[in-house]
Chains A and B, each alone.
Chain A
Amino acid sequence: MRKILTIAAREYRAMVGTKAFLLSVIMMPVLMFGSMLATQMLRKVGETKTLKLVVFDGGNEVFAALQNSAQRHNEFVTNLAGMPTEDDSSIAAGMAGMGRGEFYQLERAAQDVVDDEERLRLSNAIRDGELYGFVELPPGLVDVENPAGVALLYSQDSSIANTRSWLTAELNQIVREKKWSGSFSQNEIERINRASSPVTVSGMGLIEQTIDGQILKATEKNEMADIFLPMGMMMLMFMVIFMSAQPMLESVLEEKSHRIAEVLLGSVSSFQLMLGKLIGTVSGSLTIFAIYTVGIMVVANDRGWVANVPTEILPWFVVFQVFGVLFYASIFMAVGASVSQLKEAQSMLLPVWMLLMMPMFVWLLILHEPLGKLAVWTSLFPPSASTTMVLRMATGQPIPLWEILLSLLLLIMATLMIITLASRIFRVGILWQGKVPKLSEIFRWAIRG
């Protein structure tokens, strides 16, 4: 036993005590959540740009109104830039990108009709960066009987630009009012506008009761809790498994290619060696978990989100993590023992990666229906059990206890089986030199023992 712990201690130090580990602990969340953070940060920096648009108003009907809208929009952006943006829900708004950092500068074209030559000239101007885009408004936009329904925006990014959504919304409002103005007075139009003001629906959490019988007030739910928390949990599980299994592959490969295995096996049995390595890796994974949990709590505390962090599922998280790590680390270990170079391992690991990544492809579906069939089956399937289960639990929906226990039981059984098979492959493979064994051969090692 003491030898196993000696091996585990070395494995742990080799995994955790490197600069690469520190770097990946920092880099992984940055890579995964980076785009989200970046959007938010860029918005905070408050860098605004002015987009210059040339407008061809074919019917000479809406330019003046559009100019007014642009003015209002610009003032709104100016005010917003000065305002602190601390509210959580603005994360989502920021992601959706409501064009908050953009000023619009509209310029009416000299003539109202446009030909291809002019379009080419303007396109070149856009390519040269002198202009952001140009808009063609056909005559008859405000025609009540026979309206022209399509305006054209030309720009480098016209299909995804915020400008397009802004234009669509503003033009619709303008055109609608213009159309009404034939039948209604200005007063009536304002009344209609007021009458058609939209209703927003707020998503609320369920009512809870404290131990002393006090009924707590419902809190407004936000995207942070409903989307990012479950997703974050799933990502955390994925990262922990990934960051634990990968070093295992590398350390087995080093032991094999540098013939260290031979020395080690001259002192301990292959099973002791494997067990020690797995214990070391699991300890390493718990360290990663601890680092992130502390990190998350610090951030949550800072932001006042502590109430949103589901501390009650953390113990489950740890249990599912331990077996998830054991499951994948054993596979990586067997693969590392079967090949002699990282390159060869990669092709063999492709299907394993697919298994581990699978929940990433369906997580949104599971998030919408945490109690649905897909959610249940993916969380009972051992390779995806760890990631899916924490995703489901973090939604706050009542997952039946038997499902959790069954999922865990299946995962434990599968892990024990994988460890057994992996130890057989490991025992033969680790001393195997020369050409890479065929897959059929590796299976034979695994089955025959």
Chain B
Amino acid sequence: MDAAIRLQQVTKRFGKQVAVNKLDVNVPFGSIYGFIGPNGSGKTTTLRMILRIFQPDSGDVFVLGQRQGAVADNRLGYLPEERGLYKRMKVRDILAYYARLKGHYQCRRDIEDWLERLGAAEWANKRIEALSKGMAQKIQFISAVVARPKLLILDEPFSGLDPVNMESLRDAVIQLRQQGVTIIFSTHDMEMAEKMCDTIFMIFNGNKVLDGTLDAIQAKYPADRVRVQFASIDQPLPKLDGIQDVGNVGRFIEFRMTDPAQSQNYLRQLAELGTIRHFQVIKPSLHDIFVRIAKPSELTAETSTP
């Protein structure tokens, strides 16, 4: 068993549409593996194949060493993107239910521990419909981990959470990882993915477009972005040759240089406009890379990039 998950040349079609095309992925044991990609790119289909909800049309899906299976392994935990709880059930009952469905029958202790740990103990006898969105999300998280999975699939686990709750959940994830749990983390929040994931995998139109550590990915993209701040906040950016993707990100203006070697040249031109507070040449963030790949206008240019 070399990897927690290994996909080999996996293809899945729905009718004529190819949802996932000859995908190869290796998720090492004990890692946090970021799954990113726009909506409808084949992310959920891939997750469902790992969960054995779907069977691939061709190729192999190895999960925790198992090649085939009609049902997801009891060692898998899954947190779906939205909801996934019976409204009328009580918190403790639904957690016990999900634990038992994973074959974890002596689950009382684990349930109480987790409720305690995430500060939800007083909600144990409440019905799901009485919970706030953030509280329901915590319960959903517990339902995914209560059966002590070896492999945890989290689809947007932090949506709807305030910073305090998000932090406690993130700590829980990190701790699980330290205990040796392999975590697949699917998200649209690129900053979160940058911070948390050892490896990042991006799927687009059913094809793998990125796979590697953040450093390795960024290394493939030159430092071609400039971040500028003028003393006057209203200073507009004039039309300059060779820049694109101009965006106002709050206090800063950012743009992308077609030729990174020209950065000093741009600095001089901008200095003539007004006082510059900040000028920095930066690597493209994961967000930038994501947008570059997924933006329709750049589709042809970028999908060929390994």
Contact B101 A268 (CB under 8 A): yes
Kindly state the separation between the CA atoms of A329 and B48 in the bound complex, as whole angstroms: 27
Known contacts A259-B83, A269-B70; is-contact A3 B88 (Cβ 8 Å): no
Report the Cα distance A255→B98, complex, angstroms: 14
Establish whether residues B101 and A258, one from each chain, have CB atoms under 8 Å apart when the complex forms: no
Expressed in whole angstroms, the Cα–Cα distance for A70 and B252 within the complex equals 101
A14 to B128, CA, bound (A): 14
Interface centre among B76, B98, B101 (most CB of A within 10 A): B101
Q: Is B41 an interface residue (CB 8 A)?
A: no
Query: What's the minimum C-beta distance from A79 to chain B, rounded to whole angstroms?
Result: 56
Residues of B within 8 A of A259 (CB): 80-84
Given the complex of chains A and B, what is the CA–CA distance between A350 and B239 in angstroms? 65
- Digit string of A252-281 for contact with B (CB within 8 Å is 1, else 0)? 001100111011111111001000000000
Write the A1-17 contact mask toward B (1 if CB under 8 angstroms, else 0): 01100110010001000
For chains A and B in complex, what number of residue pairs have CB atoms within 8 angstroms? 65
Main secondary structure of the interface of B (DSSP, over half): loop
Chain A, interface residues (CB within 8 Å), range: 20 to 34
Q: Nearest chain A CB to B53's CB is how many angstroms away? A: 5
Partner of A254, one of B74, B87, B100, B103: B87
Inter-subunit contact B84/A258 (CB<8 Å): yes
Q: Which residue of B lies closest to A262 (CB)?
A: B80
- Find out whether the CB atom of B78 lies under 8 angstroms from the CB atom of A268: no
Judging by beta carbons under 8 Å apart, are A263 and B97 in contact?
A: no
Interface membership of B3, Cβ < 8 A: no
Please, which residue of chain B has its CB at the minimum distance from the CB of A10? B97
Q: Which chain B residue lies CB-closest to A257?
A: B83
Question: Could you write out 25 A-B pairs with CB less than 8 Å apart?
Answer: A3-B103, A6-B100, A6-B101, A7-B101, A255-B86, A258-B84, A258-B85, A258-B87, A259-B83, A259-B84, A260-B83, A262-B48, A262-B53, A262-B78, A262-B84, A263-B143, A265-B53, A265-B72, A266-B53, A266-B80, A267-B72, A267-B98, A268-B71, A269-B70, A269-B71
B residues adjacent to A (C-beta < 8 A): 48, 51, 53, 70-72, 74, 76, 78, 80-89, 97-98, 100-103, 105, 143
Q: A3-B103, A267-B74 are in contact. List 7 more A-B contacts (CB 8 A).
A: A2-B100, A6-B97, A14-B89, A258-B83, A260-B85, A263-B143, A266-B53
10 pairs of A and B residues whose beta carbons are closest in the complex:
A267-B101, A266-B78, A263-B84, A258-B83, A266-B51, A6-B100, A265-B53, A262-B80, A269-B71, A266-B72
